[in-house]
Structure 1
Amino acid sequence: MASLTKNLFSGLFGILYLIFGVTETLAGLVPGIADLTTPFMIPADIIGGLVLCVVGAVYLAALQRFTAGSGNGSAYLYVAMALSVIFGIVALLSLAAQGTDIILFGNEPWSPVALLVPMVYLAILPAAALSRWGRRFIGDLMGDA
């Protein structure tokens, strides 16, 4: 049986990722919504929104496995956290590339806060949780007792 913490973590981040994913996707599809989401650092990005929805679905699949008492809920949770961290790192690299481009070739002012996307700040807690909970999981994969 999974701990209450992992259940809450899976449910909370599944819902957060889905909310941000649907919002990003809708902002990309419906032009009027993009103006409303920009102050909340939610870009109009269809593909980014779909990626967030997929990660959210994996978190919710973990929650479903936990509540059903299946033994593989932890694997879904660790995969979801790994996806969060991987896409967060990719978004950070994109942020660094945009910043470098603006610094080297552009005259416009650059604010890193304006370029942060949900993939970056949603990956912070999963990275910490993966660091804490992932050691046992990696040890099990490696055959350590």
Structure 2
Amino acid sequence: MENKNKNLAYFTLLLGIMYVISGILQTLKGAKLLPDDFISANLFPPELAGGLVLVVVGAVYLYGTLEFSKSSHEGRAYAYVGIVLSILFGAVYFLTFTADLINAWVLFAEGFEQWTPLDDFKPALYLGLLSVVVYAGWKKEFMLQD
């Protein structure tokens, strides 16, 4: 395995584990199998659907790691798809965050009096931001002609 694929394999393994663990915690809290105060609700809110999305994205990353371990070039495709999914879902959560911020601090909307930015700071948002940083650093590695 060449060096750039090795670094990408470590990245897919790390992000895959982070996504799967975050997703499982969110799903278990959403299904009421873990208490809401198990880990801060701001870091891992009880969301069933959001947790399942995180598990799926993590599975894409982990499958990319498996492909890298076979010295297959397909691992790069899974890493790329994982990054794209991370950024897309992170963007959705960022738009939700921005809308709630506007409702609370600009429009002073009813029901947002007690809202704080930590209320919408969810795993898909901060893991998506991490993926944006990684993509910005490695975007030259993802060429279509490869």
TM-score tier (shorter)? 0.7 to 0.9
Q: CA RMSD in A?
A: 1.9
- Deviation per residue, 1:54-78 (Å, 9 max, x gap): 0000000100000011111101001
- Normalising by structure 1, we get a TM-score of 0.87
Aligned to 1:119: 124
Contact kept, 8 Å, 2:42 with 2:121, in 1: the verdict is no
Measured against aligned partners, the alpha-carbon deviations of 1:98-120 in whole angstroms (never above 9, x if no partner) come to 22233421361331123200011
Q: Does 1:80 align with 2:85?
A: no
How far apart are residue 40 of structure 1 and its match? 5.3
2:15 counterpart (6, 13, 16): 13
1:74-113 aligned at under 5 Å gives the runs 74-103=76-105, 104=107, 105-106=109-110, 108-113=113-118
1:33-72 matched pairs, under 5 angstroms: 33-39=35-41, 41-72=43-74
Residues 14-70 of structure 1, C-alpha deviation per residue, up to 9 Å, x if partnerless? 001000000000000016522223355211100100000000000001000000111
Superposition pairs for residues 131-142 of structure 1, below 5 Å? 131-137=136-142, 140-141=143-144
- Unpaired stretches in structure 1, ≥5 consecutive residues: none
- Matches of 1:44 and 1:93 in 2, distance apart? 20
Runs of 4+ in 1 over 4 A off after TM superposition: none
How many residue pairs get aligned? The number is: 141
Deviates more, 1:114-123 or 1:45-54: 114-123
**Identity %, equivalent residues:** 35
Unaligned runs of 5+ in 2: none
Instruction: Report which of the two has the higher share of helix.
Output: 1
Q: TM-score, normalised by structure 2?
A: 0.86
